[in-house]
Structure 1
């Protein structure tokens, strides 16, 4: 059976090839890209098509243009978002904006994961994670009402030690998690909230957190731009449980407010 030909416009195909070379290190940080005539010859494309491809990479932050000199790969590699349970805010590092705290009906997939009875609300904490002032991740974290009501999780304030500490203080320490990662195009709110360039997809992480006896105590939906970030998993036991499954995962720190 024949495979479907790539339906993307030629400039997007060329940008994808160059983007892959930058991400793999074949084109190194600070290295000058081949000249436009060289790229025209390599890809057998018109000058205008090459310029559109380069503009896409500039918009995404992969390359920088220097007048009279050429186009250069950005100085830093992909930004790896460390996936710790809590990221303390630091000057020039991570910070959080608490966008919403409310009692709300959960989306269907969240209600299913939390085993929420029909018609029952959950507590929502909606946040924006920034690094050095730049938006990195949008998150929506949901908690069962019988756990979170009248607790720090339902307060419109940041939580010292983050949601993991709040859950532990309530008698529901995090014991394990499950992640589902998918990729899709962003919604309007996601594109604007993360300041995404055109045509950039997002990572969608659906995280289910369990406490003792396998009780689900949190579901988080974490959205990151797919252009400048890498998701990092590490093998590290949960605090206080050397035999526990890994708690690390991409974006876990966004649950810290």
Structure 2
């Protein structure tokens, strides 16, 4: 096999108003454009094509990231960061009469036990109350929050149900963690198949995968577990004719919402716990989407960490 770097093109596609529609890289741009013509709904808008050649794919890929980041093409998702999109899970209703009225929350109307549980949960999850710490006595809780014995027991019952507290006979109640041992170690995880079939591509998945809504695609749904503890539901979507691929990068879109009935049962969720939903678009080295993964995780077991570069002045 030759070690000669592969000459690669960076191409820009513009519409009749000279708006930058899309940026990509390819060793053979014409072949890539032919694929775009068959699977990109915006392709008929393309009027002008600009091509810049680089001596290697690595140089072209770096230039692609720079171009997408600075020039903001309309249809590139990866690297095209738009702060406003963080607040918009769904587009706003077009008609004013269809928009819901904002109901302002003036005070916390939850029951006293839920408020106490929320306070303690926050302190446990942040590490302010370390795992293994003994919680105050019932009498101390009653004095601190000015609540009854019954309310204290209800609050502790909520935390026990969520896996944040555990009672020891005659010794009191201690904080603990709902995270299973070895949860972060792949060797300790097991995968259980829930379903595998061909299905019509939902609108969201079709848009991420670059196919037509309703097109037949492959779907495989798994539950990832450690011991008896379910950690996540992962659903894989691929085109019927997809070939084996090497993952180059992925783009994640995260939302938090209440669980569906199926998710609540499969993840064995305590009452009131939300789920974190990650839509992951996996791309190969050419920048094309080759797989979509829908990952559902228990909200009380999730943590995400990011490093985001500060915007550069132009």
TM superposition score category, shorter chain reference? 0.7 to 0.9
| Cα distance change of structure 1 residues 213 and 143 upon mapping to structure 2, 3 Å threshold | same
| TM value normalised by structure 1 | 0.73
Instruction: Check whether the contact 1:29–1:77 (CA below 8 A) recurs between aligned residues.
Output: no
Q: Distance between the aligned counterparts of 1:58 and 1:77, measured in 2?
A: 9
SS in 2 for 1:22: helix
1:139 equivalent in structure 2: 234
How is 1:245-256 mapped onto 2 (pairs within 5 angstroms)? none
How is 1:176-215 mapped onto 2 (pairs within 5 angstroms)? 176-215=249-288
Shift of 1:43: 1.4
Instruction: Check whether the contact 2:205–2:292 (CA below 8 A) recurs between aligned residues.
Output: yes
Shift of 1:62: 0.6
Structure 1 residue ranges without an equivalent (≥5): 149-169, 236-257
The partner residue of 1:52 within 123, 145, 154 is: 154
- 1:108-148 CA distance string (max 9 Å, x none): 11111112124311110100000133111111110112206
Structure 2 residue ranges without an equivalent (≥5): 1-103, 309-314
SS in 1 for 2:136: coil
2:123 equivalent in structure 1: 21
Aligned: 1:70 with 2:172 = yes
Q: Distance between the aligned counterparts of 1:77 and 1:200, measured in 2?
A: 12
Shift of 1:230: 3.0
Which one scores higher on RCO, CA 8 angstroms, separation ≥ 6? 1
2:214 equivalent in structure 1: 119
RMSD between superposed Cα atoms in Å: 2.4
Instruction: Check whether the contact 1:81–1:232 (CA below 8 A) recurs between aligned residues.
Output: no
1:166 equivalent in structure 2: none
Instruction: Check whether the contact 1:40–1:47 (CA below 8 A) recurs between aligned residues.
Output: yes
SS in 2 for 1:119: coil
Shift of 1:77: 7.6
- 1:159-195 CA distance string (max 9 Å, x none): xxxxxxxxxxx2x321111111111111111111011
How is 1:71-110 mapped onto 2 (pairs within 5 angstroms)? 71-74=173-176, 76=177, 78=179, 82=184, 87=186, 90=187, 93-110=188-205
